[in-house]
Every structure is written in structure tokens, then in C-alpha cells.
Chains A and B, each alone.
Chain A
Amino acid sequence: MKMPERSVVERRIVFLLLVLAVALPIIFPLGLKTQSTPLTEQVYDLVNSLPAGVPVIISFDYDPSTITELQPMAEAVIEHAWKKGHKIIATAMWPQGPQVAEMAFKDVQARMEKQNPSVKKHIYGEDFINLGYKPGGLVTIQGMGRSMEAIFPTDTSGLKYAEIPMLKPVRTLKDIRYVISLSAGDPGLRDWIMTANGKFNVPVAGGTTAVSAPGFLPYVNDQKQLHGLMGGLKAAAEYELLLGYEGTASLGMNPQSVAHILILAFILFGNIRAWKKRKADKLAQEARHG
């Protein structure tokens, strides 16, 4: 049997170590605690500052590929909004958005009932509604600014906009008290910032994958283009901490932390190896010319 090349063996060892670094802390949690940061606290404060009964939009602009990072954020924000009595309107700029929204609503209701069996059962059409997926990004959001009913003539079940009780006070996007976009890319949070906040002055906050988070920080400024930003699994864990429960994101921080240390170790070993190779090459060159 032909032995695989050294680089292939090394790569497989790296993969195996990564699996162990992630799997072992999942099986044996280290009990690590997380601290909240100002960016997540800003989102929390925005939701917390508004009274019961206000209509809000949570836009599910992601697909299952980023569900690990964004679904815990969605569930935390939904739970917070429900506890505050806000009326949640779910929209989606990505086609898988409506389905992940349904999953989030179901899971949050189930968790709230498990924590407190006498908790209020949130009613579809009165406490939350799923208006479904619309393409077009900022063009569609601009349309929402003129008429919500024109963009969403029905909800996902076929109920006419005018027949939905909680949507009666919502004629345009300007009637919405805040928009939280959970976004994995384009279209997503940037479109909400540019249109909902830029054109219609609706407060916008966001949750993004960690990859995109650094690029959105310029919008967190005195102009309040963005009222805080949740970036990645850690931010989801922070929001869970602020709400006082330990969900999937908080548990995920155990393997996350160990894996980060492993990646840093890989970078260190890689650099040591490269430095040794450079030194050996230099000596060999000197020997040849010496």
C-alpha cells in the first residue's frame, strides 16, 4: 500500500485535532463563563427601552449554513421582544428565512413553557406574524417605506394583510419601532441600514456572522446608523447572558474557546517550522558559496 504524502498526513492530523478540540468540550463542558460587551448591550437596550404593544420587525436574512451563529441570536431576541410584549413581524430577504423563523418561534415558545409552564402562549396573528420572503434587498425595503401591504399582500399562510389584527397600525415601515436584521450576507443588514435607517429613520440593530461583523462597526456611531451589533456566536452567548439563561450559544463558547487556542497553536507551530526551514536554507546556501 502506497503511503500518503507527508503533507496529506499532516493535514489529516490537523483535521483530527480540530475535531477533538471541538468535540471533547461539547461532551465535557468546561463551565466557562462569558462577559457581555457594549455592542451587544446596545442591542439589548434598544429592545428593552420600548413599551409593550409596539410593532417591530425581525428580518431573517440567513440560511441554514449559518444557523449555528444566527439562530441562537434570533431566539434570544424573540424571547426578549416577547417578554417586553412587542409585536414581532418576521420578514426575510433570503428564501430560507421564513422557515428558520418558524423554527425559532416554535423553539422559543417551547423553551419559555419549559421554564415556566404558566407562561403566556403567543398567538400567531396577534403576537407575531410571518410575512415571508421577498427578493430585491434595498429596493423592496424602499417599497416597504411607502406601503407594507403593497410588498406583503398576504402572510405565509395566505391571510390578507388587512385581516391580520396586529398589522392594523402598521401601514408603512415608518410605523415600525425597530428593525433587527439577522444577516449572513447580501441582501441583509446593510440594506436595512441604508434604507430603513438612512431613508426612513427607523432604528436598526443587527446580528451578523462573525465574518461580516468587523465591516459593520463603522455604522455604530453617533449618527446611530446601527444601534449595536451582535457579531458571531460569542455575541449570541452575551445576549443569552443578559437574558439570564444558558442556551446553545453559551454552551458553544466552550468548544469555541478551545478551538481558538488550537488554531493559535497551529499558527505558532507553522511559523516555527517556516523559521527553521528559512534558517536551514540559509545555512545550505552559505555552505554552497562558502
Chain B
Amino acid sequence: MADIMTTVGIWLAAFFTLSIFSFLYKDNPFYKFAEQVFVGLSAAYWLVYTIYNILIPNLFDKLFTDFAGNWVLLIPMLLGIMMLLRMFTKLQWLSRYPLALMVGTSAAMSMLLSFKSDFVEQMAATMINPFKFASAVDVVGSIMVIAGTLCGVFFFYFSKKQEGFYKVPSKIGIWFLMVSFGASFGYTVMARISLLIGRLDFLLRDWLHIIK
């Protein structure tokens, strides 16, 4: 029975794959059906995992097994319920409290952490001695890192109009950004093609058995 169900499963997977691919020809009922099934499965998946991975072990288990030691968890539970009240227009204002707590906490935390890792450490990483390298390629590259970073940051300075001499580092910054966007485009093509490879591999190997 398990073997039959495995085969049924592969055909189900192939059906959904081809339904989504049919959109490339034009929008059609199979695609619409597959799209909504995906939405439903995705939502339910997330809900089940939220219940089993967070609400039960981090909240309900603790409250039921040791209420005296964990009664304070009633507060986030109450805040969570207030969050759910966002669905009702008259009670929406109650959801602002848990939102404010979350937003305040995450804003402060990301401010501290990103200032250190994305500002201080990045500035330190730019303060290199380009001439310490033996190879000319690395020397030129390191000079490019320093110049490119400074000019790139200059480009993003919008508080003063960039005219006259100030246009020069901005222009150089744009060139470095264009090189970076070109590299990002190349990598994006790589990523998108990889996704297609996976699906065609499934269809040819697991479904049609053209490849062993």
C-alpha cells in the first residue's frame, strides 16, 4: 500500500508541477486551482508549526507543568490575544500595545546590532593597507575597495546637492554600483535557472524515469 501511495504521490506532484507551468502558456483553471491549494497548504503548514514549535513548548507546556514558576507568561499570552483582536474593527486599538512592544524591542535591537556589524565593522574592514599584499592584482583590488566604498557612500549622501567637483566621486560611486548590479544580475540568472533545473530534474527522473 505504501508503494502505491508513493507512486500516487509522485503523480500528484507532477500534476501540481505541470499545472503551475501551464501558466506560461496562459492563465487557466488548473493554474488557479494549484495556486489556491498552495496558499491553503502554506497557511496551514505555518499554523501547525507555530502551534507545535512555539506555542506548546514555549507557552502552554510551561504554564501547565509549572504555573507557579511561569505565571508571568500570562502577560505575553494576553498581549498575543490582544494582537488577535486586530481582526475586529472596534477592538483594533488593543492590538497597538503588543505591536508597540515588538516594534520597540526589534527597533532597538536591530539598531545596536546593525550599527556594529554593518557600520563599525564594515568601516574597519575598509581600513586596510593595500600595499601589504604581494600580488599586484590584490593591491589594485584593495585600492578599488577603499575608493569604491568611499565613493559609493558619497553617492548616497543626499543632504546636499551634488554639483561641480562633488559630482566626481558620486559618478565613480555609480560606476562601482553598476558593476555590482551587473554581478548581481549574473548571480540572479544563476539562481533562477537553478530553480528550473530542480523541477525538470524531478519530472524527467522521478516522474517519467527518463533518467536513472
CA distance A19 to B18 in the complex (A): 13
CA distance A248 to B205 in the complex (A): 12
Known pairs A214-B187, A256-B194. 8 more at Cβ < 8 A? A134-B53, A194-B116, A198-B116, A209-B191, A219-B117, A222-B125, A233-B194, A263-B193
Main secondary structure of the interface of A (DSSP, over half): helix
Contacts of B201 on A, CB cut-off 8 Å?
26, 68, 248, 252
Say whether A210 faces chain B, with CB atoms less than 8 Å apart: yes
Q: Considering the complex, which residues of chain A in the window 180-220 have a beta carbon less than 8 Å from any beta carbon of chain B?
A: 193-195, 197-199, 209-211, 213-215, 218-219
Contacts of A53 on B, CB cut-off 8 Å?
none
Give A4's nearest chain B residue, CB to CB. B26
Across chains A and B, which 5 residue pairs bring their CB atoms closest together, nearest first? Answer: A68-B198, A221-B125, A210-B191, A194-B113, A210-B190
Say whether A12 faces chain B, with CB atoms less than 8 Å apart: yes
Of B25, B114, B128, B194, the residue contacting A68 (CB under 8 A) is: B194
Say whether B189 faces chain A, with CB atoms less than 8 Å apart: yes
- The size of the chain B interface, using a CB distance under 8 A, is 47
B14 CB → nearest A CB, Å: 15
Say whether B105 faces chain A, with CB atoms less than 8 Å apart: yes
Give A259's nearest chain B residue, CB to CB. B193
Contact between B62 and A153, CB atoms less than 8 A apart: yes
Contact with B along A254-287 (1 / 0, CB 8 A): 0110011001000000000000000000000000
- Cβ contacts A to B, 15 pairs, < 8 Å: A22-B193, A23-B204, A27-B210, A96-B45, A132-B49, A133-B53, A135-B54, A139-B105, A151-B58, A193-B117, A222-B128, A225-B117, A252-B201, A259-B196, A260-B189
Contact between B125 and A15, CB atoms less than 8 A apart: no
Total A-B contacts with CB atoms under 8 angstroms apart: 143
CA distance A248 to B61 in the complex (A): 41
Say whether A232 faces chain B, with CB atoms less than 8 Å apart: yes
Of B24, B109, B124, the residue contacting A138 (CB under 8 A) is: B109
Contact between B49 and A69, CB atoms less than 8 A apart: no
CA distance A222 to B192 in the complex (A): 32
CA distance A218 to B126 in the complex (A): 9
Of B24, B46, B62, B188, the residue contacting A211 (CB under 8 A) is: B188
Contact between A195 and B125, CB atoms less than 8 A apart: no
Contacts of B194 on A, CB cut-off 8 Å?
68-69, 209-210, 232-233, 252, 256
The answer to whether A255 and B197 touch (CB under 8 A), given A96-B45, A134-B53, A142-B109, is: yes
CA distance A221 to B201 in the complex (A): 37
Contact between A233 and B197, CB atoms less than 8 A apart: yes
Contact between B197 and A256, CB atoms less than 8 A apart: yes
Contacts of B25 on A, CB cut-off 8 Å?
12
Contacts of A256 on B, CB cut-off 8 Å?
190, 193-194, 197
Of A95, A134, A210, A252, the residue contacting B188 (CB under 8 A) is: A210
Contacts of B113 on A, CB cut-off 8 Å?
138, 194-195, 198-199
Contacts of A225 on B, CB cut-off 8 Å?
117, 121, 125
Contact between B121 and A198, CB atoms less than 8 A apart: yes
The answer to whether A18 and B190 touch (CB under 8 A), given A199-B113, A225-B117, is: no
Contacts of B189 on A, CB cut-off 8 Å?
260, 263
CA distance A255 to B179 in the complex (A): 26
Give A158's nearest chain B residue, CB to CB. B57
Contact between B54 and A232, CB atoms less than 8 A apart: no
Give A220's nearest chain B residue, CB to CB. B125
Contacts of B114 on A, CB cut-off 8 Å?
194
